[in-house]
Amino acid sequence: MTLSYSECQALAKELEAFIGKKPIALWKSGQHCYYLQFSSASLFFSLRVPFVRFYRVEHLPKRKEKMLTPFKKEAPLKEVRLESNNKILSFLFSNGESIVFEVFSRRANLLFLSEENRILYSHRKLKEEKYLLPEGREEIRSEPALTDSVEVARRYGKLEREAEVAAEKKRIEKLLLKRRKNAEKKSLVFEEEKEKAQKWPKLQQEASLLQGNFHLLKRGMSKVAVMDWEENCETIIALDEKSSPQENVAALFKRVKKMRNSLPHIDQQRELLKKRKRKLEALLEELVTCDDLKELARFAKEHGLEQQEAPRQKEKKEARFYREYKSSSGLLILVGKSATDNDRLTFQVARGNDYWLHVAGYPGSHVILKVQRGETPPDEEALLDAAQVALHYSKAKQKGGAEVHVTQQKYLTRAGKKKPGKVLLSRQRTLYVELDPERFARIKKRVATPAL
């Protein structure tokens, strides 16, 4: 329920009293409320759906956050303008800047604009850099129109409180219904367990038959047929093939004892669950009588239904797009993880004098051997370490050996925009490298940073 166009007209007329006065700052309170502060009073804007509104207030809230101090020239308010048949209210200042409030029921927004209508701040995220008036139309309602800030504050304050009470009631009711459902599920589980446990006499009879026919049992048997003289029929009893005859008999008597002893505990738990369900039903009835937030807060606290703070999500660490190792001489070896990562590693991370390695004729990772600017070329062992890494992270690894191209990054160019990881070499030399697991294991122990 947002303000109608006629109500916006009445309030805009009232706010013309601020014309000629200099604003101090724009404050934000909570997620959806703003205050435009003047020396004598302030303008309040609420973008909370569905209670979008604006009006004059005498005092600022205690908890607020200073959002903007754009009024460097201390420019007084020049005009309060409501667009024709469009619920868009503009506050124009003498320096050309303006504040625009879109009083829409679903997509309300508050913006601060420069003299050229460039968006300096927007409550909602917008792609546009310049502000254009959106289309809108007057909402027609049957309720009596509000004519001043006091009436607006009174009515919308009441509606907002009622909505908060309804939302809190719904939250608590949802928790109580969930607890009742869990209690019902547990009751069903205990009923099934009781039904199973009540069969202990039959299992005891099987255990006694097994004990009486002990001579028939042998290790490795999965079942045995014995005569039940009480029922005058043959009974087949399942056995554990891996257990001895003594262990099978003992296990069966142990199960009998466990089932018999569990019955009092099951009955006790079932009775507790019945009491819990009755209590939850009573709480649901009591909840209906709670009419304000203080009562609901007390109710929630007494019965452990307070709103839990959402756990803070751990910030996801951005995974590196390359692995890092060190050569025996301490030079850094970087290894790409995918075609796109190879492209980034070669053309964004590597410098012109760094050495680039890749297995010839096989898909695989780009490998960069970092050298400091102005230093001599890397030692041969460092190149062999890097070549071993290139072989390990390529399809040629299964063959046990392959040729590896070696060149400096400055002699590489991209093969094309739509071919990430594909490069053209203007100069290179080739090393033949055989797979050496021991050497690679030594290189892995010299990990520079964890390879994410």
Tell which CATH architecture fits domain 5-147.
Roll (2.30)
What are 426-441's pLDDT values in tens digits?
999 999 999 999 999 9
- pLDDT of 140 over the 70 cut: no
**Per-residue model confidence (pLDDT) at position 450:** 45
- pLDDT of 138 over the 50 cut: no
What are 206-218's pLDDT values in tens digits?
999 999 999 999 9
Q: At 135, is the pLDDT very low, low, confident or very high (cuts 50, 70, 90)?
A: low
**Per-residue model confidence (pLDDT) at position 433:** 92
What percentage of residues in the chain have a pLDDT greater than 70? 91
* Cα separations in angstroms, 313 against 31, 317, 319: 20, 12, 17
**Greater model confidence, 240 or 134:** 240
* Cα separations in angstroms, 169 against 46, 81, 155, 219, 291: 23, 41, 21, 64, 9
| Cβ-based burial of 184 (10 A; exposed 0-12, middle 13-18, buried ≥19) | middle
What are 43-82's pLDDT values in tens digits?
999 998 888 999 999 988 877 676 665 545 578 999 999 9
Domain segments of the chain as ranges: 5-147, 181-302, 322-445
Q: How many CB atoms lie within 10 A of CB 70?
A: 19
Q: At 416, is the pLDDT very low, low, confident or very high (cuts 50, 70, 90)?
A: confident
**Greater model confidence, 84 or 353:** 353
Q: How many CB atoms lie within 10 A of CB 202?
A: 11
**Per-residue model confidence (pLDDT) at position 126:** 86
pTM of the model: 0.52
Q: Work out the mean pLDDT of the chain and round it to a whole number.
A: 87
**Per-residue model confidence (pLDDT) at position 29:** 87
Look up tokens 């589980």; give the residue.
Answer: 189
Query: Contact, 88 vs 3, CB < 8 A?
Result: no
For the domain bounded by 181-302, which CATH number is listed? 1.10.287
- pLDDT of 40 over the 90 cut: no
Whether omega for the bond prior to residue 50 falls within 30 degrees of 0, making it cis, is yes
Q: Which of 315, 322, 364, 316 is nearest to 451 (CA)?
A: 322
